[in-house]
Structure 1
Amino acid sequence: MKTSRKNKIFSIMIAAVLMFSMLAILPAGNTASAADNLGLPVKGAILIDADSGKILYEKNADQPLGIASMTKMLTEYILLDAINDGKIKWDQKYKVSEYAYKISQDRALSNVPLRADGEYTIKELYEAMAIYSANAATIAIAETIAGSETEFLTLMNKKAKELGLEDYHFVNATGLNNAQLQGMQPKGTSASDENKLPAKSVARLAYHLLKDHPEVLKTSSISRKTFREGTDDAIKMDNWNFMLPGLVAEYKGVDGLKTGTTDYAGQCFTGTAKRNDTRLIAVVMHAEGAEHMARFNAARTLFDYGFGQFTTEKIVPAGYTFKSQKSIPVKDGKEKNVKIATKDDISMMVKTSEVDDYQAKLVLTKKTLNAPAKKGTVVGHVEIDKKSSKDYGFIDSSASGADVVTTATAEKAGWFSLTFKKIGKFFANLF
């Protein structure tokens, strides 16, 4: 017994030594990777700061995956554009098409049943889409905007290109698998095809949706609502986003955005939460685990990570000048040079422990100016580099840095002065 016990103790000691030895020989750069490995049981994920677009975490974020009803964020975007442009009105009536009617009667799908001879306002249909992920209501909106879902696909692809989404593949407005559309899927699409996007493009879509149409949160934050309340068609709509207040996976600050589930896409979720002045966007693709809850558990981990380990810090102040280049030459100016500095602050979310790892890099797009040139003329921009470990960058490259501008007007020299300069240059070249 004593020998057996000694052997067990010895084995434990050997295991401990091996573990510490392996940790000791890991490259320094792996430390951050180990810290950022959140162990998410998902095929893809990303977490971003909704204000700056700074990417805080990503996992397999560039691989196109099924997005299911997260597709409806793009349909919402196009509808809200049309509302703002006056092309569609909230109280506008929609007469139910045969296609929308038949899909609405399939209760295996998320739907509010529509009457074949019914009329519904765009507002009613929009709320059914945004709260209850109602598929026939989504088709109705697509038909209202474009005439048919087939034509609506053209608008979806156009908007996706405008937003800079990458590797997008859209075959319908709802996110259903085309096989669920009873043979009525948009023309030119495969009968069993499905919408796909990488997690990074889903986050970019959500980022721009919140930037351009923040009013979307007024509807996406509604936990429960009754469709056609007070009528024979009344139906209770519980939001599929269980992280909203009062629902089973409630998380402080969550007020959107869109869930999605199909056999192909699995459990998906694009969530957003705000605490104090910080808003985060989390995208979870094909979460594995408890039905419906796996995506919310993964999103919770992402939100906890973002709110717990990151703070918004000012990396570069407005008016910052670079020691390596405080000015640029001016051709034909009263002064030979004009001073340059950053136009605005650059603030972004960084890990509290890594604030000092970031440094500003000057990138000049103009190395000289022709006089006259106004104060505030853009001559370059700032890029932020990280000294150690990996930095994920920004979801939108246009948000990654501040402009560098002239701090004074570069006035043109007078005729007399310019003449003497030319004479001086002539004799300098002569001799």
Structure 2
Amino acid sequence: MKQMRKWTLYLLMTVLVISAVAAGLPQQANAAENDDLGLDAGAAILVDAATGEILYEKNADKLMGVASMSKMMTEYNVLEAIKEGKISWDQKVKINNYIHRLSGAPGLSNIGLTEGEEYTVKELYQAMGIFSGNAATVALAELLAGTEKNYINVMNEKAEELGLKDYKFVNSSGLNNTDLLGNYPAGSETDENEMSAKAVAKLAYHLLNDYPEVLETSSMPKLKFRDNRTYANFNWLLPSLVFGYEGADGLKTGSTDYAGYNVTATAKRGDQRIIAVIMKSETKNSRFTEATKLLDYGFNNFSTEEVLPAGYTVKGNESLKVTKGKEDTVKIQTSDAVNLMIKKTDKENYVAKLVLDDKKVNSNGEIAAPVKKGDKVGKVTLETKDGKAVQFLTSDGEKKASVDVVAAETVEKANWFVLAMRGVGSFFANIWDSVSSTVKGWF
């Protein structure tokens, strides 16, 4: 008897374990689908360059060493200063003793700059953007703000303006402060710049959209400098270089002992441009192989699709009640189409959610006449069937996942006579209802 009880208990436990495992299988499969691309990276993110829509992320909010990818901030500030007429490409910059010494420091990425000699802004910018010249970056920082210490304030102000949430800047170059020959502008002696992958992607997004001319430099596979030497671009994803990727034309690499090996890559195929950020990869080469995986994932799985057409109506909400109008209802519809970069197999995974404007539509879902065709009455937002909102880098991008809902026709206000007759009709209707209820009560 005892033996039978043991076997019964054993079988019961086995059934329970199998059931639990079976119940967990779909979740494990979903987790594998959602991540993991198996990237050799501490953090990564993939975004649509046109809208900032986030297509993939891994530890994207974690603050990490960013190294020379922080030079994208100086690229942005230089291009902005040129646009505003504060500096010019042919403006001369005289090299001081510190920048000269830094340009010759062993083990650092640099193009030698001679003390007392003048270089144009364009020469220094190309040295920074193509060969990641650290001394050239400091020279530009001093040009923009007087000193590199002052320039840290410029970096922080611009980061706040661009909405970068996770960042810390202690110098302009992205080097560890210990490499700056004792002249570190902020932080402690051993500090270096940090950003999250999301902040890096947002900086790259703004750089590409505000100053697309950045690609004229970042796409150059090599730089022939005035010293008659040729310097290869560190971004080996450019088509003619070691890890050549079709359509790659930017953007910036970076590496230090603390940060590991990083790359912010962008590529365009047809009308589709995406940005991929890889942070803290193990080797110089692996950052490019992992960026290739991420770019391939984007181009192979996503495309820009019309998720909602113009004139779309949400089922069950095709019209609104109208008060004091010649008509009792007004048809409503979306004003424009909604286009998003989505997985090619996921078009049916999005649902439209109607949000009415409570300043125009009352709590009973009524709008007062007159209503003109094209009047905005609310908006439709898109979310996935599991209730998750579509994620974007910026608030402006979030607007891409919504569209105005407008009146599809005009409903004029009824004149006083019609309104009066309606009032009389309502009065007698109420009396009739009351009498009917009373008579029914007699029986």
TM-score w.r.t. length of structure 1: 0.84
Contact 1:332 1:418 in 2 (8 A): no
CA distance in 1 between counterparts of 2:410 and 2:142 reads 56
- The equivalent residue for 1:47 is 46
- 1:102: Cα distance to partner? 2.3
2:60 corresponds to 1:68: no
CA distance in 1 between counterparts of 2:425 and 2:177 reads 74
- Change in 2 beyond 3 A, CA 1:222/1:389: farther
Contact 2:382 2:389 in 1 (8 A): no
- The equivalent residue for 2:235 is 241
- The equivalent residue for 2:365 is none
- The equivalent residue for 2:402 is 402
2:262 corresponds to 1:262: no
- Change in 2 beyond 3 A, CA 1:316/1:110: same
Contact 2:380 2:405 in 1 (8 A): no
2:190 maps to a residue whose letter is: S
- 1:156: Cα distance to partner? 1.4
1:115 maps to a residue whose letter is: T
- 1:409: Cα distance to partner? 8.2
1:285 maps to a residue whose letter is: M
- Change in 2 beyond 3 A, CA 1:344/1:152: farther
2:336 maps to a residue whose letter is: D
Contact 1:329 1:367 in 2 (8 A): no
2:210 corresponds to 1:212: yes
Contact 2:333 2:408 in 1 (8 A): no
Taking the TM superposition and a 5 Å limit, the aligned residue runs for 1:95-106 are 95-106=94-105
Q: Kindly, what percent of the aligned residue pairs are identical?
A: 48
Residues 137-178 of structure 1, C-alpha deviations (whole Å, 9 max, x = no match): 111111112222222222211221122111211111111111
2:274 corresponds to 1:280: yes
Contact 1:132 1:237 in 2 (8 A): yes
Taking the TM superposition and a 5 Å limit, the aligned residue runs for 1:116-155 are 116-155=115-154
2:360 corresponds to 1:368: yes
- 1:416: Cα distance to partner? 5.2
- 1:322: Cα distance to partner? 1.8
- The equivalent residue for 2:351 is 359
Unaligned runs of 5+ in 2: 1-17, 362-367, 432-443
- 1:129: Cα distance to partner? 0.9
TM-score w.r.t. length of structure 2: 0.82
- The equivalent residue for 1:7 is none
Contact 1:112 1:235 in 2 (8 A): no
Taking the TM superposition and a 5 Å limit, the aligned residue runs for 1:11-410 are 24-35=22-33, 36-186=35-185, 188-228=186-226, 233-288=227-282, 291-328=283-320, 339-366=331-358, 368=360, 376-388=374-386, 393-400=391-398, 401-407=401-407
Q: Which 10-residue stretch deviates more, 360-369 or 127-136?
A: 360-369
- 1:263: Cα distance to partner? 0.7
- Change in 2 beyond 3 A, CA 1:177/1:424: farther
- Change in 2 beyond 3 A, CA 1:87/1:380: farther
Larger Rg: 2
2:303 maps to a residue whose letter is: T
Q: Aligned-residue CA RMSD in angstroms?
A: 3.1
2:302 maps to a residue whose letter is: F
2:380 maps to a residue whose letter is: V
Contact 2:253 2:264 in 1 (8 A): yes
Q: Which 10-residue stretch deviates more, 323-332 or 126-135?
A: 323-332
- Change in 2 beyond 3 A, CA 1:302/1:410: same
- Change in 2 beyond 3 A, CA 1:328/1:219: farther
CA distance in 2 between counterparts of 1:389 and 1:380 reads 20
CA distance in 2 between counterparts of 1:425 and 1:257 reads 72
Q: Which 10-residue stretch deviates more, 253-262 or 154-163?
A: 154-163
| Structure 1 SS opposite 2:62 | coil
- 1:134: Cα distance to partner? 0.7
Residues 350-377 of structure 1, C-alpha deviations (whole Å, 9 max, x = no match): 2223221111222234452677777655
Contact 1:202 1:283 in 2 (8 A): yes
Q: Which 10-residue stretch deviates more, 214-223 or 143-152?
A: 143-152
CA distance in 2 between counterparts of 1:29 and 1:124 reads 54
- 1:414: Cα distance to partner? 8.5
Residues 248-285 of structure 1, C-alpha deviations (whole Å, 9 max, x = no match): 11111111010000111010110011112211111001
| Structure 2 SS opposite 1:110 | coil
2:204 maps to a residue whose letter is: A
Q: Which 10-residue stretch deviates more, 338-347 or 293-302?
A: 338-347
| Structure 2 SS opposite 1:28 | helix
CA distance in 1 between counterparts of 2:421 and 2:209 reads 51
How many residue pairs get matched?
Answer: 404
- 1:82: Cα distance to partner? 1.4
| Structure 2 SS opposite 1:26 | helix
